[in-house]
Amino acid sequence: MATKGKEMPLESALAPAADRVAHLNARYRNHAAQAVLERALGDAQVGRVALVSSFGAESVVLLHMLSVIDRSTPVLFIDTRMLFEETLTYQADVAATLGLTDVRTIRARPEALAAHDPDGVLHRSDTDACCALRKVEPLERALAHFDAWITGRKRFQGGRRAVLDFFENEDDRRIKVNPLAHWRPEDVQDYIVNNRLPRHPLVARGFPSIGCAPCTSRVAAGENPRAGRWRDQDKDECGIHFVNGRAVRGPQPAPQEEPEMNVIVTDRGFAPDDWTQGFHRPETLGEATGNGVLALDLPSDADPCDLADHLGRVTMIRVDFPSFADGRGFTLARRLRLMGFKGRLRARGHVIADQYAMARRAGFDEIEIAPDLARRQPEAQWRRRSAWQAHDYQSRLRGLA
Ligand code: SF4
């Protein structure tokens, strides 16, 4: 058993971080986020590990996973003394709700603040120096006790994060673990909704990414969620994510490749996704304005009766299929059609070609599948099912085939 987050001497010297990172990425390449986190907490090659959390907009996902696996794992919270009051309240609430027993608040030394930023205005003239003083140095001190730390960074956040792996070599000194590297924004929202987790109150007020109050602004619809961080400055990281011991600056490395789009399957075969509007979750539908272009993302266990008052203004509904063995989405589609929903109905997720006819009979117009499923089940396989009505004896009886 590994030493996990406890600050105990390792039983044996660890191999160089680069070797361990290569090994860990190969070993856990096909694991899901929660499994990566669980293994990272127990794998001797990772060593002593802590979660570093800002208790920001999406932090609750990893904190919840951690609380399920081992709530005594150290959690390092950097209080720059420049945070929103809402963040401090949220931090205390989340830690109590999840029962986290080892949250450590990390702050700059008072003498360092007195020497370099006595009036608390350094951020106005030099954000790099301010971050170094209030975040980088305190965290570096705290991490001296650990061999690895867990972050909530994700590829979709773009910039230097677009090529993240689960495990990273931090300057040959430590390993960074990024269990959510491959998650999409919808995955984060689904996890929060499905686990009924408390949201940071500023999210609803237009802050999808939350840092220090002086350096975080509201984000407009359509902007990158991190656009409100150090707005109008050549800065997109606080400096706690290093390359060769320094905060990374300058041109961003290009992603290795364009992210692949999901594939839409229709009776005519494969097509790219032509739906350019965003999707609402059911709980935000009441806030949505406008008619005729609203789109809705539904979990497979949604109750369509909850949507009865809104269906007339919804153009598109996308139903999630977490597993091909989960048939609830078909029932949901059938009920939506019986309730009179005439808009576009899409099944998204783990639907396989053999289920195409069933999906069409249930009322779906199309299916959205991930690129890797499209590779495993190429277009020809789906097209063999495209004449689905010919195989539907009920349709033949009704003269529809
Ligand atoms: S985010 Fe702004 S206020 Fe916070 S430490 Fe960095 S520069 Fe200072």
**CA–CA separation, 318 and 285 (whole Å):** 14
Output the CA 255–ligand 1 centroid distance in Å.
Answer: 27
Instruction: Kindly state the tokens that stand for 180.
Output: 């959510």
Are both 324 and 233 inside the same structural domain?
no
pLDDT (tens digit per residue) in 284-293: 766 655 555 6
In Å, how far are 267, 275, 349 from 383, measured between CA atoms?
7, 22, 18
How far does residue 381's CA lie from ligand 1's centre (Å)? 54
Q: For residue 228, tell me if it sits in a domain.
A: yes
The answer to the question of residue 8 being in a domain is no
Report yes or no: 37 and 65 within 8 Å, Cβ to Cβ.
yes
Within 10 Å of residue 396's Cβ, how many Cβ atoms?
12
Q: Both tokens of residue 221? A: 């619809």
What's the pLDDT band for 92 if we cut at 50, 70, 90? very high
Q: What integer is the mean pLDDT of 8-21?
A: 71
Domain encompassing residue 368: 263-397
Is-catalytic flag, 238?
Answer: yes
Residue of 78, 79, 80, 217 with the most ligand 1 atoms within 8 Å of its CB, for mutation: 80
Do residues 240 and 270 share a domain? no
Question: Same structural domain for residues 31 and 140?
Answer: yes
Which segment of 128-137, 156-165, 303-312, 373-382 scores lowest on mean pLDDT?
156-165
Distance 352 CA to ligand 1 centre (A): 48
Residue with tokens 């140095």: 137
Instruction: Report which of 213, 183, 212 is spatially closest to residue 36, judged by C-alpha positions.
Output: 183
Distances from the Cα of 130 to the Cαs of 124, 155, 296, in angstroms? 9, 26, 42
Same domain, 116 and 167: yes
For ligand 1, whether the C-beta of 54 sits within 6 Å is no
Please check whether residues 33 and 142 belong to one and the same domain. Answer: yes
96-153, pLDDT tens digit by residue?
Answer: 999 999 999 999 999 999 999 999 999 999 998 999 999 999 999 999 989 999 999 9
CATH number at residue 221: 3.40.50.620
- CATH at residue 324: 3.40.50
Task: Please tell me whether residues 243 and 149 are part of one structural domain.
Answer: yes
Number of domains in the chain: 2
Work out which ligand 1 atom sits closest to the CA atom of 128: 7
Average pLDDT over residues 337-354: 92
- Per residue in 235-282, pLDDT tens? 666 666 644 334 444 334 444 444 567 889 998 888 878 877 778 887
Q: Is residue 257 part of a domain?
A: no
Quick one: 188 and 270 in the same domain?
no
149/34 same-domain check: yes
Q: If you take atom 6 of ligand 1, which residue's CA is the nearest one?
A: 131
Which has more pLDDT, 266 or 161? Answer: 266
Give the residue whose CA is nearest to atom 1 of ligand 1.
Answer: 212
Q: Among residues 195, 223, 247, which one ends one of the domains?
A: 247
Indicate the residue among 247, 280, 302 that finishes a domain: 247
Give the global pTM.
0.60
